[in-house]
Amino acid sequence: MRRALYPGSFDPITYGHLDILRRAARLFDQLIVAVVENPRKEPLFSAVERRDLVKKALAEEKIRGVNVITYSGLLVDCARELGATAVVRGLRATSDFDYEFQFALTNRDLDSDIESVFLMTAGQYSFLSSSLVKEIAQYGGEVGKFVPDCVARALVAKLKRNRRRKEG
Ligand code: ADP
């Protein structure tokens, strides 16, 4: 049984993530999306909201057989506990490389039994990031091309709630 983890912030999940997920699901017997609870940047959505959006997006895109969890702590510990032997990451531009290189080498140093696997982005998603989607949504732009409907709706609702909270 080849089990892989696809870790990330997913704040929120985009079609770029979903493309990597769909392709990774073909390579492994079991794929688990691991939503990191405390990402490097202050997230817009809570870990549970991000996890639920991944689940909804998978259902909307009809991608079956992928589990979704949240995790905190070391990725290699999470992988070991779940019996995963691979960590999947997506690569967009060379700008992703430095961080991913460091991340992969550190993880290998911590546990050499866990292999990092990199999938190259699809051309049409090479510019796409969660940050870009949030920025477009913030200024009232249309994000339907970048994220599934359930995510677009959640973004509008979350930003409206945040705006009201700031004003009130
Ligand atoms: P992190 O904060 O861990 O980078 P992200 O949610 O931003 O979390 O990304 C998770 C993984 O998905 C990373 O490996 C990232 O490079 C990859 N990824 C994000 N967007 C895309 C995209 N448009 N195409 C391919 N891979 C992507």
CATH number, domain of 88, equals 3.40.50.620
Does residue 47 surpass a pLDDT of 90? Answer: yes
Q: Band of the pLDDT at 70, cuts 50, 70, 90?
A: very high
49 located within any domain: yes
Euclidean distance between CA atoms 144 and 104, whole angstroms: 32
- In this structure, of 37-46, 48-57, 113-122, the range with the lowest mean pLDDT score is 37-46
Report the separation in Å between the CA atom of 91 and the middle of ligand 1, taken as the mean of its atom positions.
Answer: 7
Mean pLDDT of all residues in 35-46: 90
Mean pLDDT of all residues in 141-167: 94
Instruction: Quote the number of domains for the chain.
Output: 1
**Tokens at 143, concatenated:** 């994000």
Three-state secondary-structure class, residue 36: strand
156 located within any domain: no
161 located within any domain: no
Determine the residue of 13, 14, 17, 143 to mutate for testing ligand 1's pocket, defined as the one with the most ligand atoms within 8 A of the Cβ atom.
17
Euclidean distance between CA atoms 90 and 118, whole angstroms: 6
Q: Band of the pLDDT at 39, cuts 50, 70, 90?
A: confident
Three-state secondary-structure class, residue 91: strand
132 located within any domain: no
92 located within any domain: yes
27 located within any domain: yes
Mean pLDDT of all residues in 64-86: 96
E-strand ranges in 17-142 read: 30-36, 66-71, 86-91, 115-120
Q: Do residues 25 and 61 make contact, with C-beta atoms less than 8 angstroms apart?
A: no
143 located within any domain: no
- Per the structure, the complete domain to which residue 25 belongs is given by 3-126
| Ligand 1 in reach of 17 Cβ (< 6 A) | yes
82 located within any domain: yes
